[in-house]
Structure 1
Amino acid sequence: MPLLTATDAEAGQEVERLTPAGRRARLAAACVVLVLLLAGSVWGDDSEFPFGPFRMYSTRADPDAPVVSTRVVGVTAAGEEVRLSGGEVGLRRAEFEGQLPRLVDDPSLLGLVAESYESRHPSAPELVRVEVVQRHFDLSGGQQTGTYTDEVLVSYELDGAA
């Protein structure tokens, strides 16, 4: 049934009202949503969205805590690093970071990254190893101090590597 406008109501058409049970059901549903929003705001995290807040927007980072930057590199036989993240293999850095637990559990997945790189860059030097490296930048007052440390999170030796 279409909604009645003020002119329709003035013309004598009846307005259909909610029953008491209907009002209670709507009030109960509204209360459940409000409780979920409140609980999500207090205890929730990204995985409970839309009832939990996105932490990247609802919190602030310590201006003196290190910042972590993740990159994926291939290593040639000469020991040179070749960047594999940033779209070189069809995946962006954020996509790599989202897969870090899988890569740590199964380093052989890095072999697929190397295959993708080699198919996109057939004339590039052959890779012997693929690594996921995390660089920790030190901050002071929210500014880089110029000091950083690199940590190889996971490494995978490719077949045929010497």
Structure 2
Amino acid sequence: MTTLTPVGKRIRIGATLLGLLLLVVTTLFGTDDDFPAAPFRMYSTTDKLDAPVKSLRLEGVTVDGERIVLTDSDTGLRRAEIEGQQERIKADPGLLDAVAEAYHSRNPSQARLAEVDIVVRLIQLRDGRPTGSYEDTTTVRREIA
């Protein structure tokens, strides 16, 4: 086993202090987007047990008028990807055209989509458990040309 040189010790101490400084600054002033030195507020807070829970999903309406839920395997897009881009999609609903294209390329034998919607379901809770009551809201609607 070899011992560290004075320069090596200074480098390690400096790197440790820099890491700690980064952690303190992002904890006090950062957001979860500052990964990996983020405050991780998503893990440090809780919601009320009776607060509704949001669940986002994609729905499509076929040219035949049938409403279908578009799953991850239908489109190749995960729900988290849509959730992360929700504000961009609200500002430019044309981005949902890519969802329809992905659906059509993965499901060529299925009826074409005439519409793609982002639907948010508010699931009601009581004591942290679902009551069976919910409310669906379409937040973005895109008619496919």
TM-score category, normalised to shorter length: 0.7 to 0.9
- Residues of 2 paired with 1:32 and 1:93: CA distance? 36
Instruction: Please list every run of 5 or more consecutive structure 2 residues that lacks an aligned counterpart in the other structure.
Output: none
Over 3 Å counting, the alpha-carbon distance change for 1:68 and 1:18 in structure 2 is same
Contact 2:58 2:70 in 1 (8 A): yes
Over 3 Å counting, the alpha-carbon distance change for 1:128 and 1:17 in structure 2 is closer
- Residues of 2 paired with 1:85 and 1:100: CA distance? 17
Aligned-pair RMSD on alpha carbons? 2.4
Instruction: Quote how far apart the aligned CAs of 1:28 are.
Output: 5.5
- Residues of 2 paired with 1:28 and 1:116: CA distance? 49
Contact 1:69 1:134 in 2 (8 A): yes
The reply to whether residue 67 of structure 1 matches residue 53 of structure 2 is yes
Match of 1:4 in 2: 2
Contact 2:49 2:125 in 1 (8 A): yes
Structure 1 counterpart of 2:31, one-letter code? D
- Residues of 2 paired with 1:4 and 1:70: CA distance? 56
The reply to whether residue 76 of structure 1 matches residue 100 of structure 2 is no
Over 3 Å counting, the alpha-carbon distance change for 1:124 and 1:27 in structure 2 is closer
Matches within 5 A, 1:1-162: 4=2, 17-18=5-6, 23=10, 30-159=16-145
Contact 1:74 1:84 in 2 (8 A): yes
- Residues of 2 paired with 1:138 and 1:45: CA distance? 28
- Residues of 1 paired with 2:108 and 2:142: CA distance? 20
String of CA shifts for 1:50-78, please: whole Å, max 9, x gaps.
32232333322322211111111111245
Secondary structure of 2:72 counterpart:
coil
Instruction: Quote how far apart the aligned CAs of 1:153 are.
Output: 0.8
Q: Percent identity?
A: 44
Larger Rg: 1
Runs of 4+ aligned structure 1 residues displaced above 4 Å come to 25-29
Mean alpha-carbon deviation: is it higher for 64-73 or for 122-131? 122-131
Contact 2:62 2:113 in 1 (8 A): yes
Mean alpha-carbon deviation: is it higher for 110-119 or for 29-38? 29-38
More helix per residue? 2
If the length of structure 2 is used for normalisation, what is the TM-score?
0.82
- Residues of 1 paired with 2:36 and 2:109: CA distance? 47
Q: Which gives a bigger RCO, structure 1 or 2 (Cα 8 Å, sep 6+)?
A: 2
Q: How many positions carry a matched residue from both structures?
A: 144
Over 3 Å counting, the alpha-carbon distance change for 1:116 and 1:49 in structure 2 is closer
- Residues of 2 paired with 1:49 and 1:32: CA distance? 16
Instruction: Please list every run of 5 or more consecutive structure 1 residues that lacks an aligned counterpart in the other structure.
Output: 6-15
Over 3 Å counting, the alpha-carbon distance change for 1:76 and 1:26 in structure 2 is closer
